């Protein structure tokens, strides 16, 4: 064996050279890997006994792409980047055919590496893709030039612009992969290499037969641009990726690569890319809880139960079933149970209709959900999620019952969105087993799961829920036990400001459009209509006694509710809703709000879109800072991940706290102080925001200093 470096090894077996990349965990192309491959190719070229070569990844995967950690060094001027393009040309020009053997994933630079080989073989479970746009960049090592040459322009542009990987079977059909290998990949790849050894080896960059004509390609690129503007609204990278693939169809390979390089560099240095890279690492960071070691024992969750088959309970049952975990679903009466099951069946039927699930998958999952009106069977489940009405008395009663029937060690979780987990836990003899699992609606769709830590919740129970979330296809963020937890506590001032703006003279549509144009999936007022304005109204009525006298409260939503305008469900709220629940501006609301504002003595004025954005977004940031200083959120990035996955915050802005760092905390703080002067104590600046702004620091600095960021 020749050891090129710790990262790349070269061995020979009867005329076939085997190059193995060993850079765990995902064989990223970190410094040393390209150099090792290059040296191996050099030796293969020089060794006459070698007739063909196989390049394979050691461990669990082929190559997950460029080392994303290196990008920060490039943009901060600490590194010049690896420049993979020349290496890939050397592989393609190798005098012996090179077979790329793919298992796990060939993503980004990994697929670019694979396409520089003369052939590609893969196990059926492998995936290939150019996911760079999800990091705000585009393929930077010829991916936009080689992929359309293998897969055709339509698929090439789709994969580069949308970033979703495809499975090996489809890659075979498209011509990205030449053969699927059942059984041992290395043995299969070596056998394939022997078959093709000595035969002319195709170079991807010279294959122009799938590049189409201008007439064929024009509608493909027009459609891709249209899709990007709709599905990746506000993002620059997808449009850049389309431009780069278009260059592949118009320019010779080398010039196409130069065009790709220019676009890649523009994207890499953009704020969008920095934000999305922050999100990539953030999504992994939130799984790490400083005081809960990796070795914390995990409680196996092989069977679960849900109490309550309403909006949330039904969705949560589907989440468990979809992950293959059998689940009991308990209701109080047959009619409620039937309603809950009918909704679940309808949801599965819709998923089959939309092609998300096969009929067989849906049938199998449905069988895993066992409806019941009793607690029979609860003694053997490992975890229960309670999703009954939001009433403390009812929740305590349910937890008392669960304490009586569940086995020792079972996890008792509540899906409450506002109630105190410690008080719920006090109804049991085992508060260490009680935890909040706050799913978002619709539970079977939304990715976010806030895990609420009670004061007695054990580390085993927390570690288990964090890990289980991944199996359930969710992204879990651990939060402290305060009213509204992290997400909803911040959402409250955000929506409050949206209402204030309307009461001060902005139109409903102007406020919603400003936030939509900022990148939010929906405007704050339209979001209220979707969730139901009555939900907040009921809560406000219950907590009215806690409101400080003399402090301004929004008035319009309560009044709208008093008029029966609850939002989409009643056909009217901030907007009117006709067929297909399409929102239509309602002049009656505009008139009513003007009248209410006049009665309340609120002066009317012109409000610019920029103010709408600052009022709503800085309200989020100020409350987020408070959650950080109070310790209910562990890190600023936890808040970002919550907002990106649960509240439609645009990924390319990195989350509210990252965005505030990008704007500059001094600027944010100054605006918050101005709003404080204009609008009173609701805008009192968080002391953490003040401190950081005065010292010229960021939320990221704060987390580093606290030692809670990796
Ligand atoms: N660079 C650096 N680190 C990476 C990485 C990469 N490309 N891909 C994954 N990692 C790290 C993760 O941060 C994580 O680190 P941690 O354990 O310290 O938190 C570790 O590897 C394991 O990753 P996951 O937890 O994500 O492991 P999974 O098994 O769940 O997923 C994966 C594996 C599907 C490969 C997933 O990691 C992934 O999607 N990676 C990114 C792929 C990607 O975007 N590639 C394109 C890179 S840009 C590029 O190649 C530019 C080129 O065109 C020049
Ligand atoms: P829902 O009203 O749709 O469903 C509650 C169900 O619980 C009803 O079907 C009711 O019959 C059943 N139930 C009541 N007592 C029961 C008992 N003792 N045993 C078994 N079933 C019982 O309510 P929804 O919206 O599903 O909310 C459930 C919980 O989830 C609440 O705590 C709520 O705050 C929380 N939540 C709700 C969200 C939403 O958007 N709807 C979002 C996140 C959390």
Got the DSSP string for 10-35?
EEEETTEEEEEE--TTTT-B-TTHHH
Using the mean position of ligand 1's atoms as its centre, give its distance from the Cα of residue 25 in Å: 9
Q: Assess whether the C-beta atom of 260 lies below 6 angstroms from ligand 1.
A: no
Task: Please provide the size of the chain in residues.
Answer: 710
Q: How far, in Å, CA of 253 to CA of 275, rounded?
A: 31
Query: What tokens does 628 get?
Result: 């950080």
Per-residue pLDDT, 538: 86
Q: Assess whether the C-beta atom of 470 lies below 6 angstroms from ligand 1.
A: no
Q: Assess whether the C-beta atom of 66 lies below 6 angstroms from ligand 1.
A: yes
Q: How far, in Å, CA of 145 to CA of 204, rounded?
A: 9
**Best CA proximity match to 69, nearest among 108, 29, 127, 23:** 29
Q: How far, in Å, CA of 552 to CA of 456, rounded?
A: 37
Q: Determine whether 112 is an active site residue.
A: yes
Closest ligand 1 atom to residue 110 Cα is 50
Per-residue pLDDT, 580: 83
Nearest-ligand number for the alpha carbon of 421: 2
Of 307, 309, 313, the one to substitute when testing ligand 2's pocket (max ligand atoms within 8 A of C-beta) is 313
Q: Assess whether the C-beta atom of 136 lies below 6 angstroms from ligand 1.
A: no
Nearest-ligand number for the alpha carbon of 373: 2
Nearest-ligand number for the alpha carbon of 288: 1
Q: Assess whether the C-beta atom of 538 lies below 6 angstroms from ligand 1.
A: no
CB 504 within 8 A of CB 604: yes
DSSP string covering 238-263: HHHHHHHHHHHHHS-HHHHHHHHHHH
Using the mean position of ligand 2's atoms as its centre, give its distance from the Cα of residue 314 in Å: 9
**Best CA proximity match to 570, nearest among 632, 540, 528:** 528
Q: Whose CA is nearest to atom 36 of ligand 2?
A: 417
Using the mean position of ligand 2's atoms as its centre, give its distance from the Cα of residue 616 in Å: 29
Q: Where are the alpha helices (DSSP H) in 508-649?
A: 508-518, 524-531, 533-543, 556-562, 587-600, 609-630, 636-646
Using the mean position of ligand 2's atoms as its centre, give its distance from the Cα of residue 180 in Å: 48
Nearest-ligand number for the alpha carbon of 82: 1
| Percent share of the chain, pLDDT over 90 | 93
CB 304 within 8 A of CB 384: yes
**Mind spelling out the 3-state secondary structure of 290-325?**
CCCCCCCCCCCCCCEEEECCCHHHHHHHHHHHHCCC
Q: Whose CA is nearest to atom 32 of ligand 1?
A: 64
Q: Whose CA is nearest to atom 8 of ligand 2?
A: 310
CB 488 within 8 A of CB 535: no
Using the mean position of ligand 2's atoms as its centre, give its distance from the Cα of residue 411 in Å: 19
Nearest-ligand number for the alpha carbon of 103: 1
Per-residue pLDDT, 274: 96
Query: What tokens does 240 get?
Result: 């850049």
CB 263 within 8 A of CB 138: yes
Q: Assess whether the C-beta atom of 448 lies below 6 angstroms from ligand 1.
A: no
Q: Assess whether the C-beta atom of 143 lies below 6 angstroms from ligand 1.
A: yes
Residue tagged active-site, from 92, 112, 331, 614: 112
pTM of this structure: 0.95
Mean pLDDT by 10 residues, the chain (710 residues): 81 95 97 96 96 98 97 86 88 97 98 98 98 98 98 98 98 98 98 95 96 97 98 97 98 98 97 97 96 96 98 97 98 97 96 94 97 98 96 96 98 96 98 98 96 98 98 98 96 97 98 98 97 88 81 93 96 93 94 97 97 98 98 97 98 98 98 96 97 97 76
Q: Assess whether the C-beta atom of 362 lies below 6 angstroms from ligand 1.
A: no
Q: Assess whether the C-beta atom of 104 lies below 6 angstroms from ligand 1.
A: no
Per-residue pLDDT, 81: 73
Nearest-ligand number for the alpha carbon of 536: 2
Per-residue pLDDT, 4: 66
Residue tagged active-site, from 35, 39, 92, 132: 132
Of 65, 115, 133, the one to substitute when testing ligand 1's pocket (max ligand atoms within 8 A of C-beta) is 65
Q: Assess whether the C-beta atom of 163 lies below 6 angstroms from ligand 1.
A: no
Using the mean position of ligand 2's atoms as its centre, give its distance from the Cα of residue 72 in Å: 45
Using the mean position of ligand 1's atoms as its centre, give its distance from the Cα of residue 195 in Å: 33
Q: Determine whether 132 is an active site residue.
A: yes
Paired residues of 585 in beta bridges: 575
Q: Whose CA is nearest to atom 26 of ligand 1?
A: 284
Closest ligand 1 atom to residue 67 Cα is 1
Q: Assess whether the C-beta atom of 142 lies below 6 angstroms from ligand 1.
A: no
Q: How far, in Å, CA of 434 to CA of 422, rounded?
A: 8
Per-residue pLDDT, 704: 86
Using the mean position of ligand 2's atoms as its centre, give its distance from the Cα of residue 361 in Å: 27
Using the mean position of ligand 2's atoms as its centre, give its distance from the Cα of residue 14 in Å: 66
Of 32, 34, 64, 140, the one to substitute when testing ligand 1's pocket (max ligand atoms within 8 A of C-beta) is 64
Using the mean position of ligand 1's atoms as its centre, give its distance from the Cα of residue 103 in Å: 15
Question: Residue 416: which residues within 8 A CB-CB, separation 6 or more?
Answer: 386, 390, 395, 424, 436, 438
CB 189 within 8 A of CB 118: no
Question: Residue 280: which residues within 8 A CB-CB, separation 6 or more?
Answer: 68, 134, 135
Per-residue pLDDT, 467: 97
Nearest-ligand number for the alpha carbon of 144: 1
Using the mean position of ligand 1's atoms as its centre, give its distance from the Cα of residue 131 in Å: 10
Q: Whose CA is nearest to atom 25 of ligand 1?
A: 284
Closest ligand 2 atom to residue 388 Cα is 7
In this structure, the residues whose C-beta lies within 6 A of any atom of ligand 2 are 307-313, 330-332, 336, 387-390, 394, 398, 415-417, 439-441
Using the mean position of ligand 2's atoms as its centre, give its distance from the Cα of residue 465 in Å: 20
Q: Assess whether the C-beta atom of 64 lies below 6 angstroms from ligand 1.
A: yes
Q: How far, in Å, CA of 384 to CA of 399, rounded?
A: 10
């Amino acid at each position: 064996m020749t050891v090129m470096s710790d990262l790349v090894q070269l061995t020979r077996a009867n005329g076939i050279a085997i190059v193995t990349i060993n850079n765990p965990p995902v064989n990223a192309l970190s410094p040393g890997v390209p150099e090792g491959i290059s040296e191996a190719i050099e030796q293969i070229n020089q060794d006459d006994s070698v007739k063909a070569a196989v390049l394979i990844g050691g461990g669990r995967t082929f190559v997950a792409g460029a080392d994303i950690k290196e990008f920060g060094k490039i943009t901060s001027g600490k590194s010049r980047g690896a420049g993979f393009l020349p290496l890939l040309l050397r592989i393609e020009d190798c005098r012996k055919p090179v077979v790329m053997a793919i298992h796990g994933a060939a993503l980004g630079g990994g697929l670019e590496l694979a396409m520089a080989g003369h052939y590609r073989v893969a196990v059926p479970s492998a995936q290939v893709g150019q996911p760079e746009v999800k990091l705000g960049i585009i393929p930077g090592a010829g991916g936009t030039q080689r992929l359309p040459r293998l897969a055709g322009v339509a698929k090439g542009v789709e994969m580069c612009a949308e970033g979703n990987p495809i499975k090996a079977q489809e890659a075979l059909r498209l011509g990205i992969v030449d053969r699927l290998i059942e059984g041992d990949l290395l043995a299969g790849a070596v056998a394939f290499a022997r078959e093709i050894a000595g035969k002319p080896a195709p170079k991807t960059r010279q294959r122009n037969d799938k590049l189409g004509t201008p007439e064929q390609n024009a509608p493909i690129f027009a459609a891709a641009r249209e899709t990007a503007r709709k599905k990746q609204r506000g993002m620059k990278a997808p449009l850049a990726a389309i431009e780069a693939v278009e260059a592949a169809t118009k320019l010779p390979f080398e010039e196409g690569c130069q065009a790709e390089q220019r676009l890649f560099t523009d994207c890499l240095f953009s704020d969008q890319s920095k934000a999305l890279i922050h999100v990539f690492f953030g999504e992994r960071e939130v799984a790490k809880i400083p005081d809960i070691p990796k070795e914390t024992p995990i409680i196996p969750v092989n069977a679960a139960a849900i109490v309550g088959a309403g909006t949330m309970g039904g969705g949560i049952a589907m989440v468990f079933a979809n992950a293959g975990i059998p689940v009991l679903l308990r209701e109080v009466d047959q009619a409620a149970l039937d309603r809950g099951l009918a909704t679940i069946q309808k949801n599965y039927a819709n998923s089959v209709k939309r092609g998300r699930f096969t009929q067989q998958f849906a049938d199998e999952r449905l069988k895993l959900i066992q409806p019941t009106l009793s607690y029979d069977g609860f003694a053997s489940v490992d975890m229960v999620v309670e999703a009954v009405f939001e009433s403390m008395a009812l929740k305590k009663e349910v937890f008392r019952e669960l304490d009586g029937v569940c086995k020792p060690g079972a996890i008792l979780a509540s899906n409450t969105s506002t109630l105190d987990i410690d008080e719920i836990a006090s109804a049991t003899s085992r508060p260490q087993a009680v935890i909040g699992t706050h799913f978002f609606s619709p539970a079977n769709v939304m990715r976010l799961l806030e895990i609420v830590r009670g004061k007695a919740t054990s580390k085993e129970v927390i570690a288990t829920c964090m890990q289980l979330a991944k199996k359930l296809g969710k992204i879990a963020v651990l939060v402290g036990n305060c009213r509204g937890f992290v997400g909803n506590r911040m959402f409250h001032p955000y929506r409050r400001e949206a209402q204030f703006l309307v009461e001060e003279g902005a139109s409903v549509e102007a406020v919603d459009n400003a936030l939509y144009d900022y990148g939010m999936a929906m405007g704050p007022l339209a979001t209220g209509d979707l969730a139901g304005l009555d939900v907040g109204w009921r809560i406000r009525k219950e907590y009215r006694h806690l409101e400080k006298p003399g402090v301004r409260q929004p008035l319009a939503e309560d009044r709208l509710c008093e008029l029966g305008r609850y939002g989409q469900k009643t056909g009217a709220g901030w907007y009117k809703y006709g067929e297909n629940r399409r929102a239509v501006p309602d002049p009656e609301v505009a008139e009513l709000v003007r009248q209410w504002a006049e009665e309340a003595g609120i002066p009317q004025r012109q409000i610019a879109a920029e103010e709408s954005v600052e009022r709503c977004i800085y309200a989020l940031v100020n409350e987020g800072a408070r959650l950080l200083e109070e310790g209910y959120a562990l890190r600023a990035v936890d808040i970002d991940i919550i907002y990106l996955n649960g509240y439609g915050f645009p990924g390319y802005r990195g989350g509210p706290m990252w965005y505030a760092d990008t704007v500059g905390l001094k600027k944010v703080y100054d605006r918050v102080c101005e709003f404080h002067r204009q609008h009173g104590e609701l805008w009192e600046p968080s002391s953490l925001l003040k401190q950081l702004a005065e010292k010229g620091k960021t939320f990221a600095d704060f987390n580093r200093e606290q030692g809670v960021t990796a």
